[in-house]
Structure 1
Amino acid sequence: MSPNQPSWSTEAWYVACTPDEIDGKPLGRTICAERMVFFRGNDGQAAAVEDFCPHRGAPLSLGFVRDGTLVCGYHGLEVGCDGRARSMPGQMVRNFPPIRAFAVIERYGFIWVWPGDRATADPTALRHQPWAEDPACAYGGGMFHIACDYRLMIDNLMDLTHETYVHASSIGQKEIDEASVATTTTEDEVITKRAMHGIQAPPFYRMVMRGLGLDEDMAVDRWQICRFSLPSSVMIDVGVAPAGHGGIDADPATKIASTVVDFITPETDGSHWYFWGMARYYAVDDPAMTDSIRAGQHKIFSEDLEMLQRQQDNLARYPERRLLKLNIDAGGVRSRMMIDRAISAERRRAASSVETAA
């Protein structure tokens, strides 16, 4: 990828924020190098426009929302969901050129944005998230701002070998290193699979087993299935079941099964927003379990932060160094190839449109 070209697709839906982040106030956030401000219009629908007041260039996110319009905190210019100036005390502003408005969808517990041309936004391109609509599933999560290329996080999630070392006190164990990894690619997913049989559960699962009144010392079968999909999400099916009962195919009443939810949204070439969580299929009516798992996940993902940010620093310092690839890297490598193909296709479409217009 050319250093002057973005490493992400813009014709795609990215998680921008959670609904509570725009509860009665605007939210400024940079996504795919675009400075945006999110807020709710008069109809309660989420909206996003450039975080740029057309009067003097002040960030609109430093203002407030009044009757569904953004009010600039500098001189009081009001901007609507369509990016057009509505009014300003004592001034005529309706002929101001509009600022850019972005396509937004609120679904699955998140607010999504399409950073590209609003006219090309396709609601059907938003990938279905079945866990978010399943009454037999409970979800809890959070968000981190991480100072590294979003693709490093995808690499991290598609190769869980690092758990043995980075997460030794929570979900890591030596059996992860010893288990073989199978990587496959479909039309719209890259999938890595790992299974471990007849092992002791790691600390995180032992905590869950205690909470469910199970014997934390019993032998278990453990599985990890990582699924990357465009533009930048990774869903990881994980769990344990009593050894010899079928692993991931065990009776739901006997297994601890979850989907680790990872939405990775590029901010700049060297930073991203990481929306993480766990959708679980056990003890779904237990809010204390949700809080406990969220706290455990927060600790686990916090352990990744220093490693990824220091990795980014090293790569920026030594851009000429060639990174080595092993079989465990196949998931991340193929995910990057899928991203590169999507970006190339997007550029071809843009070039074709320019030629047609000419």
Structure 2
Amino acid sequence: MSKKKAFPLNAWYTAAYDVEVGRSLLARTICNQNVVLYRKQDGTAAALANACWHRLVPLSLGRLEGDNVICGYHGLEFDDTGRCVYMPSQETINPSACVKSYPLVERHRFLWIWPGDPALADPALVPDLHWNDDPEWAADGKMIEVACDYRLVVDNLMDLTHETFVHGSSIGNRAVAEAPFEASHSDRFAYITRWMHDIDAPPFWRAQLGKPGNVDRWQIIRFEAPCTVTIDVGVAPAGTGAPEGDRSHGVNGFVLNTITPSTDKTCLYFWAFARNYDLKNQARTHQLREGVAGVFREDELVLEEQQKAIDANPDHEFYNLNIDAGSMWARKLIDRMIAAEERPAMTVIAAE
């Protein structure tokens, strides 16, 4: 019996922040595939399989020369399409000498890679994280390598009840766990909307608002299969109209999250926090990035311990509560994408 796949391959995954990739060779593991990333002389990025055609030595151990990657073992040279253009001690190049090249799209300060069928790599399907480079927003973030199944990170983001208990010193308080929420979904998205009316603001949001008194707080989560979660967050003085659509008295942010499976039990978690207030204050941008990084370190600890417990109890089945509605729908959408790859012919028939 074959092991059930954990992630689809025909999807855009974040391989790196744009600033991580330059005129050197960066190795990453994406969906159990080893890749090497670099920029050509004109600044465009390229991605190749990180294994030389000759003896499978990682190309990331070599070097760049012009726009070509030179293997650090025997000097075979590959262009950005993966074709070998030089072999030592011979004039004739074996026509089979090539390595896989991957479709890449650079958007919203991320490099997105398509590990599946390159013929299906439609740039229009890159998730919308425009807040990360929109001039109307100030944003910054980081990447975390987390030793857990990427779906555990998705679960964590789709149920923010845990803020009350994991992040009580910063963004959480009892109101998060007690507030009602609404869940909805479409063929590609799942949504959770939670409003907390006339509550005490937790420390993080009290500092951002800079005003006394109770607040109306919102968390509007959107999951895009297979692994991107945007969370519209903020607070406004209670009764000033935020639930009705007037956020002008408050502060608004977007937590941007996209999680890339590295292996079946490890992932690359790319995140950013964007705000639409005090845009020119770079010190505040830095402070927010480091503050949010501290919050996510708390998540990282919990998720890695959860993965250890899952590994130690392979036959355990999770029990779902009402608060798991968002993560349940997210997993259903992921499973549908995986099933579509495994039964492409049936998918075409069903669509006709």
TM-score bracket relative to the smaller structure: over 0.9
Query: For residue 191 of structure 1, what is the aligned residue in structure 2?
Result: 191
Query: For residue 290 of structure 2, what is the aligned residue in structure 1?
Result: 295
Partner amino acid, structure 2, of 1:110 = F
Superposed displacement of residue 133, structure 1: 5.0
Match of 2:305 among 310, 314, 336: 310
Give the conservation status (yes or no) of the 8 Å contact 1:149–1:312.
Answer: yes
Query: For residue 99 of structure 1, what is the aligned residue in structure 2?
Result: 99
3-state DSSP class of the match of 1:101?
A: coil
Query: For residue 356 of structure 1, what is the aligned residue in structure 2?
Result: none
Distance in 1 (CA, whole Å) between partners of 2:100 and 2:245 is 51
Q: Which moved more, 1:97-106 or 1:325-334?
A: 97-106
What does residue range 65-76 of structure 1 map to in structure 2 within 5 Å?
A: 65-76=64-75
Partner amino acid, structure 1, of 2:172 = G
Report Cα offsets for 1:152-203 as digits up to 9, x if no partner.
0000000001111111111110111110121111232111111111112111
Could you say if the C-alpha distance between residues 137 and 243 of structure 1 is closer, same or farther in structure 2, counting changes exceeding 3 Å? Answer: same
Query: For residue 120 of structure 2, what is the aligned residue in structure 1?
Result: 120
> Which runs of 5 or more residues in structure 1 are unaligned?
354-358
Query: For residue 172 of structure 2, what is the aligned residue in structure 1?
Result: 172
Instruction: Answer yes or no: is 1:348 the counterpart of 2:343.
Output: yes
Distance in 2 (CA, whole Å) between partners of 1:59 and 1:240 is 49
Instruction: Answer yes or no: is 1:322 the counterpart of 2:317.
Output: yes
Could you say if the C-alpha distance between residues 91 and 201 of structure 1 is closer, same or farther in structure 2, counting changes exceeding 3 Å? Answer: farther
Distance in 2 (CA, whole Å) between partners of 1:118 and 1:351 is 21
What does residue range 143-182 of structure 1 map to in structure 2 within 5 Å?
A: 143-182=143-182
Report Cα offsets for 1:187-231 as digits up to 9, x if no partner.
32111111111112111112323xxxx32x321111111110112
Instruction: Answer yes or no: is 1:23 the counterpart of 2:15.
Output: no
Could you say if the C-alpha distance between residues 191 and 93 of structure 1 is closer, same or farther in structure 2, counting changes exceeding 3 Å? Answer: farther
Give the conservation status (yes or no) of the 8 Å contact 2:109–2:133.
Answer: no
Query: For residue 286 of structure 1, what is the aligned residue in structure 2?
Result: 281
3-state DSSP class of the match of 1:153?
A: helix
Could you say if the C-alpha distance between residues 303 and 72 of structure 1 is closer, same or farther in structure 2, counting changes exceeding 3 Å? Answer: same
Report Cα offsets for 1:219-271 as digits up to 9, x if no partner.
11111111101121000000000110122555444211011000011111101
3-state DSSP class of the match of 1:344?
A: helix
Superposed displacement of residue 42, structure 1: 3.8
Distance in 2 (CA, whole Å) between partners of 1:227 and 1:207 is 26
Length-normalised TM-score, structure 1: 0.92
Query: For residue 334 of structure 2, what is the aligned residue in structure 1?
Result: 339
Partner amino acid, structure 2, of 1:295 = E
Distance in 1 (CA, whole Å) between partners of 2:205 and 2:45 is 38
Could you say if the C-alpha distance between residues 202 and 228 of structure 1 is closer, same or farther in structure 2, counting changes exceeding 3 Å? Answer: same
Could you say if the C-alpha distance between residues 248 and 81 of structure 1 is closer, same or farther in structure 2, counting changes exceeding 3 Å? Answer: farther
Superposed displacement of residue 91, structure 1: 4.0
Partner amino acid, structure 1, of 2:30 = I
3-state DSSP class of the match of 2:103?
A: strand
Runs of 4+ that moved beyond 6 A: 350-353
Q: Which moved more, 1:291-300 or 1:130-139?
A: 130-139
Report Cα offsets for 1:315-339 as digits up to 9, x if no partner.
1111111211100001001100011
Distance in 1 (CA, whole Å) between partners of 2:71 and 2:345 is 34
Partner amino acid, structure 1, of 2:19 = D
Superposed displacement of residue 351, structure 1: 7.8
Query: For residue 45 of structure 1, what is the aligned residue in structure 2?
Result: 44
Give the conservation status (yes or no) of the 8 Å contact 1:240–1:248.
Answer: no
Distance in 2 (CA, whole Å) between partners of 1:55 and 1:281 is 52
Distance in 2 (CA, whole Å) between partners of 1:93 and 1:193 is 62
Distance in 2 (CA, whole Å) between partners of 1:263 and 1:147 is 16
Partner amino acid, structure 1, of 2:43 = G
